[in-house]
């Protein structure tokens, strides 16, 4: 069983599957990708999967292709920017976790833990923060009245998926029925194969029998808009303005992505976990809006009011600029406040010597730091308690790190490796055993064997070693240069830069050109590090 976080290649493919733009069938409107872009995407995705070349550059190129697809259906560049920023927020959270959080769990369980402990909270913050950051409110976009239209509802033990909610909203916007939205004027004498197929497809989607790719869904919508406009029966003829059509398309696009994500959670983790995550999202969303963003919005609107008083009504560009400048600064202050809250909470836990926070401590934290932090803290503590550290695991970690920090013998390293292999965490800690063996050979001057074992440790530890991989990656870079393995050096360097792991002698201001990386490689060949 593979241990650790999902790979960056798997995460990126998931994003494309969620957007529904990876499949290339039924793209008659050219919404997905050109043939050139298809080839570029497949190449970049393969490189991300193989973790070959410049990881960050490949990731940025792939995301640019994704956002190009989004931009084609977006009613405003500000909407595109808000979606892009939300995706980037989640990817930054993901890379932070890989860089800092070790795990002993398999990929599925690690992802389940991260969904509960980190990603739901990040999704809550990003969705609200970026609406404010890009001032989407002033665009006057129409969305369903249901505050959580992008989340599933449960009725009589059955889930109503976001796509169904969005489609039914589209019918209400057009003031027509499902039948006459997709096949306007349909009667017993009607014959139109394409519209009949569109209606049948919509029926399947609304009853969750299948989930279409975005090209199919968008084509259905646009053909339905055109058919309603061209309908000769005045009772069912509808002419929706292009702006209204664009807003319907946006809502359906988001709903389709949300349906894919929540159905995947339901399939892999079960209904109870999905409902738990939905409740968590709603609770954190409500308290964030009332505790943090209501005050933030009020403060920024006062700034806009002051600008209006001083110079008359400011143009929209100035208003948007005030939001873009103010929201990050406000969140910076919130982040520092929460960091202080986290430190004080940690000091309480240390004082309690492993015991839970007392009611007095909890009451103090809520009063001092507010409902939003307190709600997130409660969720975090509940989740941590449901994932207790397995007995014997930390003892093996401590033993392995102790061996690294002293001049251990080959016999000691081999005994430790055997202990890891016999334990329940052989896949979770094999990187630490390999690191010990590689470090031993490095100390003894056998660079070839050091390269072999440190390379094994690097590959095994990427997605489960957490912050322990920082010195591991540095040691691997050094031995790659010593044995003149340019290919391995490039891979390790790309990984370090992607995770923002500091690299000795590398200036963060330098351009990440191949010439500069080659220069660093040459410097490492001629230097000895303590």
Residue partners of 307: CB distance under 8 A and separation at least 6: 314, 318, 322
pLDDT given at position 354: 79
Chain segment 392-437, per-residue pLDDT in tens? 999 999 999 999 988 889 999 999 999 999 999 999 999 999 999 9
Residue partners of 318: CB distance under 8 A and separation at least 6: 307
pLDDT given at position 130: 96
* Residue 42 to residue 34: CA distance in whole angstroms: 12
pLDDT given at position 285: 96
pLDDT given at position 24: 56
* Residue 224 to residue 220: CA distance in whole angstroms: 6
pLDDT given at position 430: 96
pLDDT given at position 1: 66
Q: Which parts of the chain have pLDDT scores under 50?
A: 29
Tokens for 35? Answer: 């043939």
pLDDT given at position 134: 96
pLDDT given at position 511: 86
Domain spans in the chain, listed from the N-terminal domain onward: 74-141+272-386, 153-269, 393-526
pLDDT given at position 310: 65
Chain segment 312-362, per-residue pLDDT in tens? 778 889 999 999 999 999 999 999 999 999 999 999 999 998 788 999 999
* Residue 122 to residue 521: CA distance in whole angstroms: 37
Three-state SS sequence of 484-500 = CCHHHHHHHHHHHHHCC
pLDDT given at position 55: 86
Closest to 6 measured CA to CA, from 104, 90, 108: 108
Handedness of CA 369, 370, 376, 382 (dihedral sign): positive
Kind plus residue range of the DSSP H or E element containing 155:
strand 153-155
Three-state SS sequence of 41-85 = HHHHHHHHHHCCCCHHHHHHHHHHHHHHHHHHHCCCHHHHHHHHH
pLDDT given at position 30: 54
pLDDT given at position 513: 87
- Tell if the pTM clears 0.85, that is, is over it: yes
Average pLDDT, the chain: 91
Closest to 74 measured CA to CA, from 19, 8, 11: 19
């Amino acid at each position: 069983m593979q241990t650790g976080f999902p790979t960056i290649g798997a995460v990126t493919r998931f994003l494309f599957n969620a957007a529904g733009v990876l499949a290339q069938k039924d793209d008659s409107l050219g919404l997905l990708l050109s043939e050139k872009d298809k080839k570029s995407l497949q190449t970049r995705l393969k490189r991300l999967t193989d973790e070959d070349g410049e990881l960050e550059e490949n990731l940025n190129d792939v995301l640019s292709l994704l956002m190009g697809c989004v931009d084609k259906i977006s009613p405003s560049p500000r909407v595109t920017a808000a979606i892009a920023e939300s995706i980037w927020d989640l990817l930054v959270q993901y890379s932070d976790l890989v860089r800092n959080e070790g795990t002993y769990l398999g990929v599925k369980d690690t992802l389940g833990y991260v969904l509960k402990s980190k990603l739901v909270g990040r999704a809550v913050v990003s969705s609200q923060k970026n609406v404010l950051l890009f001032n989407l409110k002033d665009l006057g976009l129409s969305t369903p009245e249901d505050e959580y239209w992008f989340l599933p509802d449960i009725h009589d033990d059955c889930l109503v998926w976001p796509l169904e909610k969005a489609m039914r909203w589209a019918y209400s916007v057009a003031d027509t029925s499902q039948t006459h939205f997709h096949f306007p004027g349909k009667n017993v004498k009607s014959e139109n194969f394409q519209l009949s197929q569109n209606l049948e497809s919509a029926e399947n989607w609304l009853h969750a029998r299948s989930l279409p790719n975005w090209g199919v869904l968008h084509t259905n919508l646009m053909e339905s808009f055109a058919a309603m406009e061209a309908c000769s029966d005045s009772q069912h003829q509808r002419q929706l303005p292009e702006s209204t059509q664009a807003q319907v398309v946006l809502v359906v696009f988001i709903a389709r992505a949300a349906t894919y994500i929540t159905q995947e959670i339901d399939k892999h983790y079960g209904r109870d976990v999905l409902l738990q995550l939905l409740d968590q999202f709603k609770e954190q969303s409500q308290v964030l809006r009332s505790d943090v963003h209501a005050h933030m919005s009020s403060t920024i609107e006062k700034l806009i009011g002051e600008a209006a008083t001083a110079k008359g009504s400011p143009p929209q560009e100035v208003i948007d600029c005030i939001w873009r400048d103010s929201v990050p600064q406000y969140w910076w202050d919130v982040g520092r406040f929460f960091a202080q809250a986290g430190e004080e909470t940690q000091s309480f836990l240390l004082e309690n010597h492993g015991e839970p926070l007392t009611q007095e401590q909890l009451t103090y934290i809520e009063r001092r730091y507010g409902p939003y932090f307190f709600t997130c803290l409660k969720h975090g503590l509940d989740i941590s308690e449901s994932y207790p550290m397995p007995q014997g695991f930390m003892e093996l970690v401590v033993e392995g790190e102790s061996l690294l920090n002293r001049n251990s013998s080959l016999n000691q390293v081999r005994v430790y490796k055997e202990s890891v292999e016999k334990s329940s965490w052989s896949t979770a800690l094999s990187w630490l055993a390999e690191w010990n063996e590689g470090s031993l050979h490095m100390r003894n001057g056998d660079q070839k064997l050091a390269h072999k074992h440190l390379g094994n440790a690097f590959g095994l530890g990427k997605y489960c070693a957490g912050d322990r991989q920082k010195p591991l990656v540095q040691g691997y870079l050094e031995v790659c240069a010593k044995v003149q393995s340019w290919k391995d050096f490039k891979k390790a360097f790309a990984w370090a830069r992607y995770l923002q792991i500091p690299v000795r002698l590398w200036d963060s201001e330098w351009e990440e050109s191949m010439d500069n990386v080659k220069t660093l490689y040459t410097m490492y060949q001629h230097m000895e590090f303590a």
